[in-house]
């Protein structure tokens, strides 16, 4: 522990409303903290710039999974363990269930929250590719009101999001209309568990007589934010998954990813493996 914990403050307002009131008064003062699985790593390394924290970990208003016939709504304070244990998510949203199982260690999954994973805005985070593929919407809440936007519009740039300092991410909603879809997801990390991804894809496709009628591809660690690979999707849409489609899709993918060399891997490895995973997915559509 290289930080002096006496240099930090933590407050824990009793309710969501009280929390939003504090953020409304002086949002620049506090950084919300839920599971802390990201912030504590920085604290330990003495690289945590923020000094004042507002705990939202205990807010039961944020920790729920609400499944209706049409949609599943997940509170931002829901842990990965909560997600892994939910029967409807396991059957209806396998990509999200799988992503939750890949996140950190069991201890991380017990503390870490879906909302934290999103607002931390790491391009390598495990759940965003699935949420992008499912076309999730996110609801943001503040003392002055709420707004709901497509998750795909949430990330603006590297660690930049549309979330205002006085806002909290309240919930994530996914429609339950993926019954006939073929799913594919694969994470390539530094090892098989407790790993940060070098590349990850989460994909959905709907086939009609061998022709791809709908396709969604979410990706991690290939850009400065989690991305939907829309150009790649367009190259596949309304095509049968043939070798020429696959070749076109690989080419399209290369135009829209911006991988980098970093501490975990290299740009060229990431680009090559992303294309391999895409091809592996598309081959499952060839029947």
Partner 1 sequence: MPEPGPIVGTSPIRKEGLAKVTGRAQYVDDITLPGMWYGATVRSTIARGCITSIAYDPAIDWSQFTIVTAADIPGENTIIHLTKDHPCLASENINHPAEPILLLAHPDKNVLHAAVEAVHVTYEDFPGVFTIEDSETGAAGDTSKVVWDHRGHGGSPNTFKTFLMQKGDDPLADSALQAAFQSADFIVEGEYRTGAQEHLYIENNGVIAEAFRAPNGSLDSITVSGSMQCPYYLVHALELVFNLPAEKCRVIQTETGGAFGGKEDFPSVIGSHAALLAMKSGHPVKICYDRAEDLIATTKRHPSRTRHRTAVSRDGKLLAGEIEVAIDGGAYATLSAVVLSRATIHAPGPYHWPHLTVRAKAMATNIAPHGAFRGFGAPQSLFALERHMDKIAKAVGLTPEELRRRNFLATGDHTATGQHLTDPVDMQGLLTRALHESNYHAKRAEFDRTNLTSTIKRGIGFAAFMHGSGFTGSGERRLNSLVKIKITPEGRPCILVSSTEFGQGTNTILSQVCAQTLRIPYDEVLVAQPDTAIVPNSGPTVASRTAMIVGKLVERASESVLATLGLPPHSAPLLSSRSAAEGSASPLDEPSNYTADQFRTTADQFRTTAVAYLAAHGSLTAEARYEAPNNIFWDDDQYKGDAYPTYAWAVYVAEVTVDTLTYIAEVKNFHALQDVGKVIHPILAKGQIEGGVAQGIGYALYEKCVYVDGLMRNNQMTNYIMPTSADLPPIHVHFEETPSIHGPQGAKGIGELPMDGPAPAILNAIEHATGIAFTEIPLLPEDIFERMSCTPVGSNEVGGTEDFKPAIDHDTRVEANA
Site residues, partner 1 (CB under 8 A)? 1-6, 38-39, 41-42, 44-49, 122-125, 158-159, 188, 190-196, 198, 224, 260-269, 272-273, 276-277, 279-280
**Minimum CB–partner distance for residue 60 and partner 1 (Å):** 27
Closer of 47 and 213 to partner 1 (Cβ): 47
**Minimum CB–partner distance for residue 175 and partner 1 (Å):** 29
Closer of 20 and 271 to partner 1 (Cβ): 271
Backbone angles phi, psi at 58, to 5 degrees: -90, 0
Q: How many residues in the chain?
A: 287
**Minimum CB–partner distance for residue 122 and partner 1 (Å):** 5
**Minimum CB–partner distance for residue 83 and partner 1 (Å):** 20
Measured CA angle at 142 (ends 141, 144), to 5 deg: 120
Q: Sign (positive/negative) of CA torsion 52, 63, 152, 17?
A: negative
Closer of 93 and 227 to partner 1 (Cβ): 227
266/275 Cα distance (integer angstroms): 14
**Minimum CB–partner distance for residue 18 and partner 1 (Å):** 27
Tokens of residue 121, six digits? 């805005």
Closer of 234 and 276 to partner 1 (Cβ): 276
Closer of 48 and 131 to partner 1 (Cβ): 48
Closer of 85 and 268 to partner 1 (Cβ): 268
Residue 183, beta-bridge partner list: 204
Measured CA angle at 196 (ends 190, 200), to 5 deg: 90
5 Cβ contact list (under 8 Å, min separation 6): 43
Contact present, 35 and 42 (Cβ < 8 Å): no
225/221 Cα distance (integer angstroms): 8
Q: Sign (positive/negative) of CA torsion 82, 85, 90, 94?
A: positive
**Minimum CB–partner distance for residue 98 and partner 1 (Å):** 15
């Amino acid at each position: 522990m290289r930080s002096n914990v006496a240099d930090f403050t933590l407050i824990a307002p009793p309710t969501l409303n009280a929390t939003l009131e504090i953020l409304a008064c002086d949002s620049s003062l506090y950084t919300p903290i839920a599971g802390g699985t990201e912030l504590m790593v920085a604290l330990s390394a003495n690289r945590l710039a923020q000094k004042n924290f507002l705990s939202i970990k205990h807010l039961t208003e944020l920790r729920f999974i609400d499944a209706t016939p049409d949609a599943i709504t997940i509170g931002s304070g829901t842990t990965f363990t909560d997600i892994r244990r939910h029967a409807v998510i396991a059957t209806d949203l396998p990509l999200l269930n799988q992503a939750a199982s890949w996140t950190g260690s069991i201890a991380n999954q017990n503390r870490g929250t879906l909302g934290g994973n999103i607002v931390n805005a790491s391009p390598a985070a495990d759940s965003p590719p699935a949420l992008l593929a499912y076309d999730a919407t996110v609801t943001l809440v503040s003392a002055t009101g709420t707004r709901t936007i497509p998750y795909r519009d949430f990330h603006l740039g590297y660690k930049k999001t549309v979330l205002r300092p006085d806002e909290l991410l309240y919930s994530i909603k996914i429609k339950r209309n993926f019954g006939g879809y073929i799913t594919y997801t694969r994470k390539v990390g530094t090892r098989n568990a407790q790993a940060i991804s070098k590349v990850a894809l989460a994909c959905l496709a709907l086939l009609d007589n061998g022709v791809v009628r709908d396709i969604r591809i979410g990706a991690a660690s290939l850009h400065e934010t989690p991305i939907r690979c829309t150009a790649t999707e367009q190259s596949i849409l309304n095509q049968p998954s043939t070798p020429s489609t696959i070749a076109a899709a690989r080419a399209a993918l290369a135009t829209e990813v911006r991988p980098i060399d970093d501490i975990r891997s290299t740009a060229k490895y990431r680009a090559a493996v992303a294309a391999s995973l895409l091809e592996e997915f598309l081959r499952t559509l060839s029947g």
